[in-house]
Amino acid sequence: METTKNKTSQYLTKIEINDWLNWLKKNNKWRYYLLVKLGISTLLRYSDLNRLCWNDLLDKEILFLNEKKTNKKREIRIERDIQETIKYVFNRLNDGYTDKLFPYHINSVNSYLKKSSFYSGVRKPHISTHSFRKSGGRYIWELNNKSDESLLKLSMIFNHTSTSITRRYLGIEREEIQNMYEFQSNIFLV
């Protein structure tokens, strides 16, 4: 009997992200380096990241945009280290101030992300641009002590109708269910 595999994008651990970023940096893949960092820190879909131009972000502390999918107005604070990364990458490339940061089709991007993540040592089969949203959401949830309040806020950012959808989206329910089996090793004395 053949089992169906879950083909949704996967979140990445901090170690996996840093290994990947180090590989991209070492191989001068600056645009993808920035894509990974921006994707995780802004929680934006690629359809929104793909529309960004350098003048939307350079020397800016706040990014204002209407999300393409939801038409929801977003105001995203750009932290200082991300601002520095944006400026650094811009200076390394020969782009103009009004050029797009990521002028690639999503299929090309996802194909490259799978290859580059694999070469960097990340061996997860379902890496895509959507992995950035999931990874960033997981980090926020963990940084906020896995609180229900952080899930509620993430649910609003992701435009989910409930926190249960957000839990499933971030892979929290599956993880918690798997953790329920940890008790088994403590049952038997012999």
- 80-91 pLDDT, tens per residue? 999 999 999 999
Q: Read off the pLDDT of residues 25-66 as tens digits, 9 standing for 90 and up.
A: 999 999 999 999 999 999 999 999 999 999 999 999 999 999
Distance CA 25, CA 30 (A): 6
Residue 89, both tokens: 């990458």
The domains of the chain, with CATH numbers, are: 14-123 (1.10.443.10)
Classify residue 36 by burial, with Cβ atoms within 10 Å: 0-12, 13-18, 19+.
buried
Q: Tell me the pLDDT band of 106, cut-offs 50, 70 and 90.
A: very high
Whether 2 shows a pLDDT value over 60: the answer reads no
Distant-in-sequence, close-in-space partners of 123: CB < 8 Å, separation ≥ 6: none
Tell me the DSSP string of the chain.
-PPPPP-S-----HHHHHHHHHHHHHTT-HHHHHHHHHHHHH---HHHHTT-BHHHHTT-SEEEEE-TTT--EEEEE--HHHHHHHHHHHHHS---TTSBS--S-HHHHHHHHHHHHHHTT---S---THHHHHHHHHHHHHHTTT-HHHHHHHHHHHT-SSHHHHHHHTTHHHHHHHHHGGGGGGT---
**pTM confidence score:** 0.87
Q: So what's the pLDDT on residue 123?
A: 86
